[in-house]
Amino acid sequence: MHELGIAELARGLDAGEYSSEELTREVLSRIERLDKTLNTFITVDAEGALAAARGADERRAAGQAGPLTGIPLAHKDIFCTNGLRTSCGSRMLDSFIAPYDAAVVERLGANGMVNVGKTNMDEFAMGSSNETSYYGPVRNPWDTGRVPGGSSGGSAAAVAARLVPAATGTDTGGSIRQPAALCGITGIKPTYGRVSRWGMIAFASSLDQGGVFARSAEDAAMVLGAMAGFDERDSTSVEQVVPDYSAALDQPLKGLKVGLPKEFFGEGLEDGVRAAVDAAIAVLKEQGAELREVSLPNLGLSVPTYYVIAPAECSSNLSRYDGVRFGYRCEDPRDLEDMYKRSRGEGFGAEVQRRILVGTYALSAGYYDAYYLKAQQCRRLISEDFRKAFEAVDVLVGPTAPETAFGLGERADDPVKMYLSDINTLAVNLAGLPGMSIPAGFADGLPVGLQLIGNYFDEGRLLAVAHQYQQHTDWHRRAPEEQS
Ligand code: GLN
């Protein structure tokens, strides 16, 4: 059963070939057997999952099942789950049990999906390798000496290793697309405002967006359709009808205008990645897509711009962890100040502290204009580049990451090198656009991702392009060998 994607599993459940309880037991036993090495889960909720699965089976028996009823999934540990630990990969929240479900958890639960647990992630979603997690690194199932990417590394690796058919993730600067690429799976980050951020622990609020990992675009369309939509509890949620993504997957590629931003194909792109991406683009062309070179001249500003805005917002968002109301509190504080300092010093890891320091500095009086304001102006220039590009083309295509999965520990001591891992993904968040990564082959045995970028609220088109590509390739069906 672990070989099957959501659409196939749903057919099996409908045909009564197995129950959701049986399916969930199989998922739990694979996690038990394979996750000691991979470390993709922080918390597994066997009891809760089996209860939800039995509930789903009852709904099915009563004729009330929808397409996702009884399908297991995992949530990134950044989404609050009522009664179940939500750690955000941090010692700070190691014992935090949320009193409510995030909107995403609530919606997928209401659609009958069975939450089996919470996946490992970089601490507070800051990272590109999953090495900043308080719970230890996740290993890439294609090569356990390598990183799965980050920050949603646990979700990506769990789907790649066929532990779960789908998992949620969040993407502030690439954290869905980059791990999807490095793990050889499909991942989509929708338009900013498409998926509610309510109950999703904030990192950089103007960039954070929830999305999904699955094996195929067809599966991702089903889950995204269920989790997207207006939510009055999130002030940046956009009130716009969610189209039926699954129904729109069969649009042919003929006549589709595909832009190839030349900045994505320049220096720093590994040869093997370039070859796989070129071959993928050739497939789109064979199917009738029209290719055009375009330019995003300010793309080079995205790394410095992001690394001012994201830390600035994080320094403000993370000020709530003060040891007073919830989260970690140090032992025997001398006085109030000592409690603040030691609770934060001991509760946060090195990367989170670095970001808070950078952000606080960038926002401080006297520096605000030089850094934060400047970064906001650059952000506007980057958005304008995309706006112009989308006047001429329907989608943009390029490599998701300039490289394949790198070795564990290789970049841990070099933050700038680590920050460059997201060079192709950050601009999409700065502009608030939807982006997707799909498997596009291998370089030296490691997966390569193709990034698709769409105009605002055009995630349906991205899913359709990805689906057409997946009709003509089988990269998304390749699974890593099991490592137990
Ligand atoms: N790697 C980027 C960062 O560390 C993006 C992370 C993310 O998308 N959550 O900020």
pLDDT digits (tens, 9 = 90+) for 136-179: 999 999 999 999 999 999 999 999 999 999 999 999 999 999 99
- Mean pLDDT for the chain overall: 97
Query: 35 is in which domain, residue-wise?
Result: 6-258+392-477
Q: Is residue 346 part of a domain?
A: no
Q: Please give the positions annotated as active site.
A: 76, 151, 175
Atom of ligand 1 nearest to the CA of 310: 10
Mutating to test ligand 1, I would choose from 151, 305, 353, 437 the residue with most ligand atoms within 8 A of its C-beta, which is 151
The verdict on the CB of residue 422 being under 6 Å from ligand 1 is yes
**How much distance in Å is there from the Cα of 144 to the middle of ligand 1?**
22
| CA–CA gap between residue 135 and residue 144 (Å, rounded) | 16
Mean pLDDT for the stretch of residues 213-230: 98
Instruction: Determine whether the shortest distance from the Cβ of 310 to ligand 1 is under 6 A.
Output: yes
Domain assignment present for residue 440? The answer is yes
CA dist., res. 252 & res. 243, Å (int): 18
Largest CA distance in the chain: 70
For residue 149, being part of any structural domain is answered with yes
Q: What is the pLDDT of residues 382-393, one digit of tens each?
A: 999 999 999 999
pLDDT for the residue numbered 202: 98
Does pTM surpass 0.75?
yes
Give domain status of residue 314, yes or no: no
Pocket test for ligand 1, best of 79, 172, 303 (most atoms within 8 A of CB): 172
Ligand 1 site, residue 112, Cβ cutoff 6 A: no
Number of the ligand 1 atom closest to the C-alpha atom of 125: 9
Retrieve residue 230's tokens. Answer: 């207006």
Distance from the alpha carbon of residue 232 to the mean position of ligand 1, in angstroms: 26
Q: 3-state SS of the chain?
A: CCCCCHHHHHHHHHCCCCCHHHHHHHHHHHHHHHHHHHCCEEEECHHHHHHHHHHHHHHHHCCCCCCCCCCEEEEECCECECCEECCCCCHHHCCCECCCCCHHHHHHHHCCCEEEEEECCCHHHCCCCCCCCCCCCCCECCECCECCCCCCHHHHHHHHCCCCCEEEEECCCCCCHHHHHHHCCEEEECCCCCECCCCECCCCCCCCCEEEEECCHHHHHHHHHHHECCCCCCCCCCCCCCCCCHHHCCCCCCCCEEEEEHHHHCCCCCHHHHHHHHHHHHHHHHCCCEEEEECCCCHHHHHHHHHHHHHHHHHHHHHHCCCCCCCCCCCCCCCHHHHHHHHHHHHCCHHHHHHHHHHHHHHCCCCCHHHHHHHHHHHHHHHHHHHHHHHHCCEEEEECCCCCCCECCCCCCCHHHHHHHHCCCHHHHHHCCCEEEEEEEEECCEEEEEEEEECCCCHHHHHHHHHHHHHCCCHHHCCCCCCC
Residue 159 forms part of a structural domain:
yes
Please work out whether the CB of residue 174 comes within 6 Å of at least one atom of ligand 1: yes
pLDDT of residue 415: 86
Confidence check: pLDDT of 397 > 70: yes
Name the residue among 414, 435, 413, 416 with its Cα closest to residue 424. 435
In a domain, 293, yes or no: no
Q: Is 165 in the pocket of ligand 1 (CB under 6 A)?
A: no
Q: Ligand 1: which residue has its CA nearest to atom 5?
A: 173
Residues 6+ apart with CB under 8 A from 171: 152, 177, 189, 208, 209, 210, 211, 425, 429, 435
Say if ligand 1 is within 6 A of residue 140 CB. Answer: no
pLDDT of residue 483 exceeding 80, the answer is: no
Mutate to test the pocket of ligand 1, among 90, 175, 177, 313 (most ligand atoms within 8 A of CB): 175
Dihedral over alpha carbons 247, 252, 257, 260 (to 10 degrees): 90
pLDDT of residue 418: 87
Which residue lies with its CA nearest to atom 10 of ligand 1? 126
The finding on whether 172 has its CB within 6 A of some atom of ligand 1 is yes
* Domain assignment present for 319: no
Domain count, the chain: 1
- For 285-333, write each residue's pLDDT tens digit: 999 999 999 999 999 999 999 999 999 999 999 999 999 988 999 999 9
CATH number, residue 463: 3.90.1300.10
Q: Is the pLDDT of residue 1 over 90?
A: no
The model's pLDDT over 430-452, given as tens digits with 9 standing for 90+, comes to 999 999 999 999 999 999 999 99
Residue 484 is predicted with a pLDDT of: 64
Q: Report, as an integer, the average pLDDT of 99-112.
A: 98
Using only C-alpha atoms, what is the Rg of the chain?
21
At 256-280, the pLDDT tens digits run 999 999 999 998 999 999 999 999 9
Report the atom number in ligand 1 closest to the C-alpha of 307. Answer: 10
β pairing state of 446-454 and 435-443: antiparallel
Whether the CB of 323 sits within 6 Å of ligand 1: no
- Does some domain include residue 295? no
Peptide bond preceding 151: is omega within 30 degrees of 0, i.e. cis?
yes
> 269-292 burial by CB neighbour count: b if 16+ within 10 A, else e?
bbebbbebbeebbebbeebebeee
Asked if pLDDT for residue 421 goes beyond 90, the answer is no
